[in-house]
């Protein structure tokens, strides 16, 4: 059974392995000891933080752990509110009309406008599942456990939830979108720019990024072709979020042109359809799969397992193994989401 829990400093080696295996373009997991250590420390601080009334600079990083072997299978995270401490940049795609009635010319042209429109929003991020564990409900658990957390503790997150999707790049980490920017505005390659952003050194972006809107039709054909497109490995994650109600509002990443998708927290399918129930611990026979989490925040736990729900009593019958994994007892409350 895979159990999702808050990360701790003892998980550093496993997080470093995930960073190495995630490859190029995974900005939130750079292979950097100081940054990874700081993320763990900040997450420990954020989970231990007392009751809060609104989201701030908290960052919640979790790991999925195999309950039998103790091996870390992957990581997943949420940023409470981005952009307050370190600027968060994106491009917005808009349209302008160049029209001349006298000449009978009417051209609609797309622009990329540099900005900080997601400042203060909560971001789901750092989702990576190691190849050996990409089976069963593991992927859904690692992704959707964040929505169960949001449903159970909505005051810790903003109204708008968004995710940056990895854009198109080749096996060597080269991005067609960045190559055009590099040629005209920068003198560093994509992997270095991506790495500097990952470790929080974003000053070069404001220094070198063009301040005026960019006409998309002036970009190279290769750069234009990947705007709003995702990396092949990211397609499953994008489809999962689209089924949750996430959609692209024409914001794209400033490095690889990958889409940013967003959804109102209240409209996320897993938030809307999850429900609370009282725990009843017993062996049972059920064919219904559920994702479930406990009601604790500091000691958050989530699993994917079979359960039986009795609507009349508002009870969920879970096995002793599941109860141990969730750290709950008879009569405690848990949140469930049918699969």
Cα torsion angle, 143, 296, 276, 301, sign: positive
What length does the chain have? Answer: 339
- Do 257 and 181 contact (CB within 8 A), yes or no? no
Among 24, 231, 273, 284, the active-site one is 231
User: If we measure between CA atoms, which residue out of 167, 165, 151, 113 comes closest to residue 268?
Assistant: 151
Question: CB neighbours (10 Å) of residue 304?
Answer: 25
Q: Report the C-alpha gap between 339 and 332 in whole angstroms.
A: 22
Task: Decide if 231 is catalytic.
Answer: yes
Strand pairing category for 315-318 and 275-281:
parallel
For the chain, state the CA radius of gyration: 22
The backbone torsions φ and ψ at residue 274, rounded to the nearest 5 degrees and listed phi first, read -75, 160
- Do 26 and 195 contact (CB within 8 A), yes or no? no
Supply the residues annotated as catalytic: 231
């Amino acid at each position: 059974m895979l159990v999702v829990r808050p990360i701790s400093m003892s998980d550093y080696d496993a997080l470093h392995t995930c960073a190495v295996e995630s490859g190029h373009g995974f900005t939130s997991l750079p292979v950097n000891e100081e940054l990874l250590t700081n993320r763990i420390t900040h997450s420990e601080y954020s989970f231990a933080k007392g009751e809060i009334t609104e989201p701030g600079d908290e960052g919640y990083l979790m790991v999925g752990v195999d309950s039998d072997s103790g091996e870390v299978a992957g990581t997943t995270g949420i940023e409470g509110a981005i952009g307050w401490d370190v600027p968060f940049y994106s491009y917005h795609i808009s349209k302008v009309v160049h029209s001349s009635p006298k000449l009978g010319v009417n051209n609609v042209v797309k622009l990329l406008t540099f900005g900080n429109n997601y400042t203060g929003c909560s971001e789901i991020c750092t989702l990576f599942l190691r190849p050996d564990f990409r089976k069963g409900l593991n992927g859904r658990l690692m992704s959707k456990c964040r929505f169960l957390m949001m449903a159970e503790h909505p005051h810790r997150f903003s109204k708008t939830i968004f995710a940056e999707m990895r854009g198109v790049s080749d096996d060597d980490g080269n991005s067609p979108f960045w190559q055009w920017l590099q040629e005209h505005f920068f003198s560093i390659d994509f992997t270095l720019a991506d790495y500097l952003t990952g470790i929080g050194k974003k000053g070069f972006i404001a220094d070198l990024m063009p301040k005026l809107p960019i006409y998309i039709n002036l970009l190279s054909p290769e750069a234009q072709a990947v705007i709003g497109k995702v990396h092949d490995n990211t397609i499953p994650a994008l489809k999962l979020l689209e089924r949750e109600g996430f959609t692209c509002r024409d914001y794209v990443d400033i490095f690889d042109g990958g889409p940013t998708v967003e959804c109102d927290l209240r409209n996320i399918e897993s938030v809307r359809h999850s429900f609370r129930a009282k725990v009843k611990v017993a062996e049972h026979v059920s064919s219904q799969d559920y994702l479930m989490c406990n009601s604790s925040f500091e000691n958050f736990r989530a699993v994917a397992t079979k359960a039986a729900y009795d609507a009349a009593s508002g009870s969920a019958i879970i096995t002793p193994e599941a109860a141990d994994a969730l750290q709950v007892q008879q009569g405690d409350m848990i949140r469930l989401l049918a699969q």
